Amino acid sequence: MANLPENPEEDQSLGKNQVAGYQRKSWKYSAVRKDGSFHYVHSTPFGNYSFISVDATQRPGPKRPYNFFGILDEKQMEELISFSKKSSQSNQTIWFGHFTTSTILSPSPGIRTVMSSATAYLCGHLHTLGGLMPVLHTRHFTGTLELEVGDWKDSRRYRIFAFDHDLFSFADVTFDKWPVVLITNPKSLLYSCAKHEPLERLFHSTHIRVLAFSSSPITSVAVKIDGANVGQAAHVSGPIFILKWNPKKYSNGTHTIEVSVQDSAGRSKSVHHIFSAKENTHLKFDPLASYILLTDHYIVARVLFVLIVLTQLAILITFRYLAYPELKEPPGFANMTAFSLHILGKTNIFYYSVLLLTLYTVLGPWFVGEIIDGKLGCCFSFGIFVDGHFLQGGLTFISGIMQLVFFNIPLMAYICWSLLQRCFGYSFRSHLHQGKRWKIISIYLLMLLLYTWQVYSCYFLHVTYGTLAFFLSPLRTWLTLLTPVLIRYVWTLNSTGLGIFMVQLKSHLSS
């Protein structure tokens, strides 16, 4: 379980997470009771097994949504590297933590490289993506498994795992649903890795082994391979059931093992997986799950944010300094779009308004508010300053992309379109009654939807970060109020300001 400080004074020194009150309770029930990352070695007569915790919680911890990414600094990485070196003497190593590796910001050589000697990394955070991805599992390029588990709070999901002769097996199950079944030998081919496990032991094994748990006594453990009955597994001790087998019979290709368990309460559970006695056989994980877990999303967000900003700035500045357009071809979408960008770029009030908005989205403070309960902070696109600390930008870049794509750029496009209507000679009222009303209506419905989204972002800001954040938010509240003013100015601008473009457009249409 998570290990977070129970002492309120310690909480205040680090800053309280939004869910700190709930997380502190987990410390009370933790077996290890250590804060931060730690290395635990479980010793047995047949070897040692290392368990390394990765605590990438931001310190101090901001409220949602800016706590979505975890952060490891240089000191924490050095600590994890030392844990990794110490674990090399263990039979097997399991890493575990809250965040997926794709949502952890870490310095070189990167968190995946540091945990490369591990058999598996067990994590949560994304869970099942709200049910869209029931199974989020993949394998790192180093061979380490990364295994998400569904959340406990809403889904009551948990995981059991076992090492059988150093072969790793696991099962994700739902609380209070019995029986619980885990086949440990032969292990699943999908989750096998010759780099980290002695897979040859499967070929030399003498028994099929199953772990079966229930709140009532187990009455039957039936085993099938490739649909054929192999027999009933016998109870050895505790949850262990075994059945003698000859793995050489299954030395070619892949095979499917199925185990059906029943208890005295009449409940039953069947599980199955594909296995192979050959070491060079592999199965691939779901490509989408692999993309979600293996992609460094904060890097993608940063690159995409910069590309969008540079593209918008390039378009603005290019049309600002291009020579006045000469309309020679019949009016079409591309010609009219370019013409409207010329109008925007060469009309100072609108050019500088859009330019300032874009630059402010990149450089300016978005809002000042209670980033942490009782602690004021300032949010930028590149990160957050709070309580004397700087938190690297992760979700801030995704928020910036959403601001650009769902408001800034549509606003720029609407201004271009409105200026073009003005050059055609329309006023605000008259343009609403021109032909193709469906086109006009769809444009305004879209703009209303996007403006509603902007208004909602102001409300979210108030609810999450307090009243001060609502009033001291240039990118949310102030922009929401200034947008109608800017749009009104588009439609009330004196026609002489657009004279050159109006004359040129009318001349072209009449020719």
Could you report the per-residue pLDDT of 438-450, keeping only the tens digit for each?
888 899 999 999 9
Residue 231 tokens read as 């027999």
What is the number of residues in the chain? 511
How far is Cα of residue 242 from the mean position of the Cα atoms in its chain?
41
384 and 494: one domain?
yes
83 domain residue, yes or no: yes
Look at phi and psi of residue 165 and say left if phi exceeds 0, alpha if psi is from -120 to 50, else beta. left
In this structure, are residues 269 and 261 in contact, taking their beta carbons and an 8 Å threshold?
A: yes
Cβ-based neighbour number of residue 181 at 10 Å: 25
What is the spatial distance between Cα 392 and Cα 394, in angstroms, rounded to a whole number?
6
pLDDT tens for each residue of 355-399: 999 999 999 999 999 998 888 999 999 999 998 889 998 999 999
Candidate from 29-38, 47-56, 261-270 with smallest mean pLDDT: 29-38
Kind of pairing, strands 104-105 and 70-71?
parallel
What is the spatial distance between Cα 244 and Cα 180, in angstroms, rounded to a whole number?
22
CATH of the domain at 204: 2.60.40.10
487 and 397: one domain?
yes
Buried b (16+ CB within 10 A) or exposed e, 453-475: ebeebbeebbebbbeebbebbbb
359 and 394: one domain?
yes
Number of independent structural domains in the chain: 3
The DSSP call for residue 248 is G
What is the spatial distance between Cα 507 and Cα 411, in angstroms, rounded to a whole number?
29
In this structure, are residues 347 and 419 in contact, taking their beta carbons and an 8 Å threshold?
A: yes
pLDDT tens for each residue of 96-113: 999 999 999 999 999 999
pTM: 0.85
Give the H/E segment covering residue 304.
Answer: helix 297-321
136 domain residue, yes or no: no
Band of pLDDT at residue 8, cut at 50, 70 and 90: very low
Contacts of 500 (CB under 8 A, 6+ apart): 324
201 and 344: one domain?
no
166 and 270: one domain?
yes
79 and 45: one domain?
yes
143 domain residue, yes or no: no
pLDDT of residue 509: 63
422 and 506: one domain?
yes
210 and 322: one domain?
no
Residue 181 tokens read as 């079944």
In this structure, are residues 220 and 232 in contact, taking their beta carbons and an 8 Å threshold?
A: yes
271 and 363: one domain?
no
Q: What are phi and psi of 191, to 5 degrees?
A: -105, 20
475 domain residue, yes or no: yes
Contacts of 223 (CB under 8 A, 6+ apart): 208, 210, 229, 230, 231, 232, 233, 243, 257, 258, 259
184 and 107: one domain?
no
Q: Helices in 127-264 by DSSP H: which ranges? A: 152-155, 200-203
337 and 470: one domain?
yes
What is the spatial distance between Cα 81 and Cα 52, in angstroms, rounded to a whole number?
11
SS3 254: coil
Cβ-based neighbour number of residue 193 at 10 Å: 17
In this structure, are residues 99 and 123 in contact, taking their beta carbons and an 8 Å threshold?
A: yes
147 domain residue, yes or no: no
User: How crowded is the C-beta side of 380, counted as CA atoms within 13 Å?
Assistant: 14
Q: What are phi and psi of 272, to 5 degrees?
A: -155, 155
pLDDT tens for each residue of 152-167: 988 999 999 999 999 9
Among 264, 284, 304, which residue terminates a domain? 284
142 domain residue, yes or no: no
What is the spatial distance between Cα 410 and Cα 219, in angstroms, rounded to a whole number?
65
Cβ-based neighbour number of residue 439 at 10 Å: 10
Band of pLDDT at residue 43, cut at 50, 70 and 90: very high
Nearest-CA neighbor of 415 among 475, 496, 332, 498? 498
210 domain residue, yes or no: yes
82 and 219: one domain?
no
Band of pLDDT at residue 24, cut at 50, 70 and 90: low
The type of residue at 396 is T
464 domain residue, yes or no: yes
Cβ-based neighbour number of residue 179 at 10 Å: 25
Partners of 235 in the β-ladder: 241
pLDDT tens for each residue of 452-509: 999 999 999 999 999 999 999 999 999 999 999 999 999 998 877 777 777 777 766 6
Q: Which domain holds residue 71?
A: 1-118
Residue 175 tokens read as 């609380």
pLDDT of residue 436: 73
The DSSP call for residue 276 is -
